[in-house]
A and B are shown apart, each in its own frame.
Chain A
Amino acid sequence: MADAPPLLRLRGITKAYPAVLANDAVDLDVGTGEIHAVLGENGAGKSTLMKIIYGSVRPDAGTVEWNGSQVDIQSPAMARELGIGMVFQHFSLFETLTAAENISLAVSGTIPELSRRIREASARFGLDVEPDARVQSMTVGERQRIEILRCILQEPRLIIMDEPTSVLPPQGIAKLFETLRKLASEGIGIIFISHKLEEIRALCDTATIMRGGRVVGVCDPREEDARSLTRLMIGREIARPRHGAERGDGHPVLEVTGLNHTPENPFATPLRDVHLTLRSGEILGIAGVSGNGQDSLTQALAGEIETPDDRGSTVMLEGKAIGALGPYARRKLGLHFIPEERLGRGAVPIHTLSENSGLTTYHRGMVNWGFLNLGRRRKLAAETIERMDVRCGGTESTAQSLSGGNLQKFIVGRELALAPRVLIVSQPTWGVDVGAAAAIRQQLIDLRDSGAALLVVSEELEELLEICDRIQVMFRGRLSGSVPVRDTDMDHLGLAMAGDFDALNSSQTMKEPALG
């Protein structure tokens, strides 16, 4: 490969946005048949770089060479003509269309013709896709397979994959890697964006590490270990979370029995006979591929969905039935909820941090005779910013101006300030960079050690295994029995996430019968 020009060569790519230098003289070489990792935290400039390669952002300076000749990629259409395909992190599929229709928007051919080609390619690369099924009824794994198929059917020479594993269960990841290796063996170059170090070490030939818009290192990831990669990526080491010795007394705080709920949204998963017990001083993890009913569960616990006890289900908080109470009433009883969507649900995007901190705290002395106590609210916001080390322009900056990680730190801090007895958290570190994620996890552990009961819904098994005491798995609206973290591992959780609840406990001695 030393003589032949690489498939793609970037030199000195620079892109400045008003507030930030997103890419600063970035170089990148990707060869044919190479799986090249681009590693970095959120905001390191990976996405901007990929958008430049894919033609949706134009660089301010620098050159792009494709097969040895300089090109100016002006649009995604032009990138595709050159043979550059992209699989997006947030899927760019159309929900109301079928798989084949989705693909037909990007690949020429009639639907029957495409359906045949889809079946062929599915078989060849091990990507199960049913061409006539509508996207909205599909799991995230299936959606991703469609994206990849759509990309492959355009016969690209380079595929960019933006955090493809963030949505997959462990088995799905293994399968995806097989597919990618097969593609690479056919001479297709692959750019693999991720912040998961183990995956990169398992899959990639080369890694380019970015920090703050610059390339800080190029290495063979198989020769590095996770610690050295982390140090390159964030510039320092990350402490493992500390578990304190103090605990709550272990009495059941929140008890849910026989919870059923059919959501109004016909594409959401109904809850079926869900049982769980949340104890003081523990973190219960809910594992599962997203879309298996986690949304309904957290909503039912938080009170966004009210479940009066008339249908045999009960939700009890400290022995008091709360199924018929709304979120506000439950908050007043000390049950707090941090939703997955930060902008729009956890915080009002266009409101200031000060205003946002008043949203969940106004019943705690923020209101006098109907008038908001603005000074107190601002002080609370300032304290939260201080304690959680939120990087922002102060209490009067809007929520939407913060990065995902910083806003999440703020929201977590806002709820922690109220000393909740029960905290429901959905995807606490989704899209949050490694440093902020570690800080958030530590805060959750500290809250548990102070005696609160926490329920954490997450798709990241590493996270659950790191912070939880017990784990239950959700699949198609059912919840498995619980297993202590020490009695399970990634493989067994993975099997349970695919519906085999009996496989949950690695020691094979179930302490509680599996439900469902």
Chain B
Amino acid sequence: MDVLIFIVGGTLAAATALIFAAMGELVAEKSGVLNLGIEGMMATGAAMAFVVLSLSGSYTLGFVAGAALGMVLSLVHAALTIIFRANQVASGLAVGILGLGLSSAIGKRYEGRTVAGLPENGIPFLSDIPVIGPMFFQQDIMVYLSILLIPATWYVLNRTKLGLTIRAIGESPEAAHALGLKVRLIRTGCVAFGGAMAGIGGAYMSTAYTPLWAEGMIAGRGWIVVALTVFGTWMVGRVAFGAYLFGSISLLELSIQAFGLNIPSQLMSALPYLVTIVMLAIISRNPTFIKLNSPASLGATLKLS
């Protein structure tokens, strides 16, 4: 039973950073803006949150600072692609690289330091339920928020006028503009949301999941987020599933090391990335689903005659 509790609890924690960043990227892509700078935004968010937390001792301030810096970076991407109509791939890569550099500059003097991790917050009554309690309700606050973010994202995208507008803009920005929808404003908002969520995801990495700062600690998770969004065919549920799959396999990696099995560690480290992408690619073969859910104008700037 303890093993199960360890696995479920650990998976939730391991997936949290991905859930935040992936929901943000999903919203941005649904509006038609591809953001390849997630890795850099997560790294910057992680460094900023770690530094602010170290200086102030406040987790709230740390997360706010991480989110804010992630958002600022994403707004650079938004300005380049939405106002100046730069290529989204090139701009995203550039801003991502900028973010990685920025994170190393911000965290320079903190390299290798640790902080106390975000404390766990048992939910009263629920956490006392045997098995289920420790599995789900003995986590830190950000895990709960990330879980709530999933249905919230789904609801906004699929059941609100705002979500309808976002999806319409992602399918055809020209048609949306002709209807008088504020294409640039909404796209900028979606990108900013994505940046803030990436920042929070990064902040979670450096202040809760592994409460330390080391350059490169995001270790490709930003890229996994981009892959999750695409291979999850832009469906909230599938993207979240991919994130949890990634989380559980990274946990497996730790367990196998603990059991002392002699598998090359490089292979083990690569495993979560491989399995997640292969799994999502397999469940996402249905072309109908892809056509229905993919933002048709992803990567395209609004063209006005």
Give residues 28-77 of A contacting B (CB, 8 Å): 51, 56-57, 75-77
Task: Report how far A136 CA is from B304 CA in the complex, Å.
Answer: 24
Give residues 174-230 of B contacting A (CB, 8 Å): 174-181
When C-beta atoms are compared, the residue in chain B nearest to A150 turns out to be B179
Task: Report how far A306 CA is from B181 CA in the complex, Å.
Answer: 43
A93 within 8 A of B: yes
Residues of chain B contacted by A96 (CB below 8 angstroms): 167, 171, 291-293, 296
- Given A92-B172, A97-B168, A76 and B178 contact (CB-CB distance below 8 Å): yes
B288 within 8 A of A: yes
**Pairwise interchain contact B164-A97, C-beta atoms closer than 8 A:** yes
Give residues 282-298 of B contacting A (CB, 8 Å): 287-288, 291-293, 296
- Given A104-B161, A265-B291, A266-B287, A94 and B180 contact (CB-CB distance below 8 Å): no
Task: Report how far A5 CA is from B175 CA in the complex, Å.
Answer: 33
B266 within 8 A of A: no
Task: Report how far A76 CA is from B176 CA in the complex, Å.
Answer: 11
Residues of chain A contacted by B168 (CB below 8 angstroms): 94, 97, 105
When C-beta atoms are compared, the residue in chain B nearest to A102 turns out to be B168
Min CB gap B5→A, angstroms: 41
Q: What are 16 A-B residue pairs whose CB atoms fall within 8 Å in the complex?
A: A56-B178, A76-B180, A92-B175, A94-B167, A94-B171, A94-B172, A94-B176, A96-B171, A96-B296, A97-B168, A101-B164, A104-B161, A105-B168, A106-B180, A136-B291, A264-B287
Task: Report how far A315 CA is from B209 CA in the complex, Å.
Answer: 62
- Given A96-B293, A97-B164, A105 and B305 contact (CB-CB distance below 8 Å): no
- Given A56-B305, A92-B175, A94-B172, A105 and B165 contact (CB-CB distance below 8 Å): yes
Min CB gap B185→A, angstroms: 13
Min CB gap B184→A, angstroms: 13
Interface string of B149-171 (1 = CB under 8 A from A): 00000000000010011011001
**Pairwise interchain contact B180-A266, C-beta atoms closer than 8 A:** no
Min CB gap B64→A, angstroms: 34
**Pairwise interchain contact A267-B180, C-beta atoms closer than 8 A:** no
Residues of chain A contacted by B167 (CB below 8 angstroms): 94, 96-97
Task: Report how far A96 CA is from B178 CA in the complex, Å.
Answer: 18
Residues of chain B contacted by A86 (CB below 8 angstroms): 178
Residues of chain A contacted by B288 (CB below 8 angstroms): 266
CB-contact partner of A93 in B175, B180, B293, under 8 A:
B175
When C-beta atoms are compared, the residue in chain A nearest to B175 turns out to be A92
Question: Which interface class (under 10, 10 to 19, 20 to 34, 35 or more) fits A?
Answer: 20 to 34
Interface residues of B, Cβ cutoff 8 Å to A: 161, 164-165, 167-168, 171-172, 174-181, 287-288, 291-293, 296, 304-305
Task: Report how far A95 CA is from B170 CA in the complex, Å.
Answer: 11
When C-beta atoms are compared, the residue in chain A nearest to B164 turns out to be A101
Task: Report how far A75 CA is from B172 CA in the complex, Å.
Answer: 18
Task: Report how far A92 CA is from B181 CA in the complex, Å.
Answer: 13
Min CB gap A24→B, angstroms: 19
**Pairwise interchain contact B171-A105, C-beta atoms closer than 8 A:** no
Min CB gap A170→B, angstroms: 28
When C-beta atoms are compared, the residue in chain A nearest to B290 turns out to be A266
Residues of chain B contacted by A88 (CB below 8 angstroms): 178
Residues of chain B contacted by A331 (CB below 8 angstroms): none
Residues of chain A contacted by B292 (CB below 8 angstroms): 96, 136
Task: Report how far A101 CA is from B165 CA in the complex, Å.
Answer: 10
A275 within 8 A of B: no
**Pairwise interchain contact A265-B287, C-beta atoms closer than 8 A:** yes
When C-beta atoms are compared, the residue in chain A nearest to B182 turns out to be A77
Residues of chain B contacted by A105 (CB below 8 angstroms): 164-165, 168, 176, 179, 181
Residues of chain B contacted by A77 (CB below 8 angstroms): 180
- Given A51-B305, A96-B293, A97-B168, A106 and B287 contact (CB-CB distance below 8 Å): no
Residues of chain A contacted by B179 (CB below 8 angstroms): 76, 92, 105-106
Residues of chain A contacted by B161 (CB below 8 angstroms): 104
Give residues 132-156 of A contacting B (CB, 8 Å): 136
Task: Report how far A56 CA is from B177 CA in the complex, Å.
Answer: 9
Min CB gap A113→B, angstroms: 13
Task: Report how far A93 CA is from B174 CA in the complex, Å.
Answer: 10
A80 within 8 A of B: yes
When C-beta atoms are compared, the residue in chain B nearest to A134 turns out to be B292
If A96-B296, A106-B180, A267-B291 are given as contacts, then 14 extra A-B residue pairs at C-beta distance below 8 Å, sorted by A number, are A51-B305, A56-B305, A75-B180, A76-B179, A76-B180, A92-B175, A94-B167, A94-B176, A96-B171, A96-B292, A96-B293, A105-B164, A105-B179, A136-B291
Task: Report how far A106 CA is from B175 CA in the complex, Å.
Answer: 11
Residues of chain B contacted by A97 (CB below 8 angstroms): 164, 167-168, 171
Residues of chain A contacted by B180 (CB below 8 angstroms): 75-77, 80, 106
Min CB gap A146→B, angstroms: 12
Q: Which of A77, A95, A96 has the most CB of B within 10 A?
A: A96
When C-beta atoms are compared, the residue in chain B nearest to A264 turns out to be B287
Which 3 A-B pairs rank lowest in CB-CB distance, beginning with the nearest? Answer: A77-B180, A92-B175, A266-B288
Residues of chain A contacted by B296 (CB below 8 angstroms): 95-96
Task: Report how far A336 CA is from B173 CA in the complex, Å.
Answer: 36
Residues of chain A contacted by B171 (CB below 8 angstroms): 94-97
Min CB gap A268→B, angstroms: 10
**Pairwise interchain contact B305-A57, C-beta atoms closer than 8 A:** yes
Task: Report how far A265 CA is from B287 CA in the complex, Å.
Answer: 7
**Pairwise interchain contact A94-B287, C-beta atoms closer than 8 A:** no
**Pairwise interchain contact A92-B291, C-beta atoms closer than 8 A:** no
Interface string of A76-112 (1 = CB under 8 A from B): 1100100000101000111111000100111000000
When C-beta atoms are compared, the residue in chain A nearest to B159 turns out to be A111
Task: Report how far A77 CA is from B172 CA in the complex, Å.
Answer: 17
Task: Report how far A54 CA is from B293 CA in the complex, Å.
Answer: 31
Task: Report how far A88 CA is from B168 CA in the complex, Å.
Answer: 17
Min CB gap B298→A, angstroms: 13
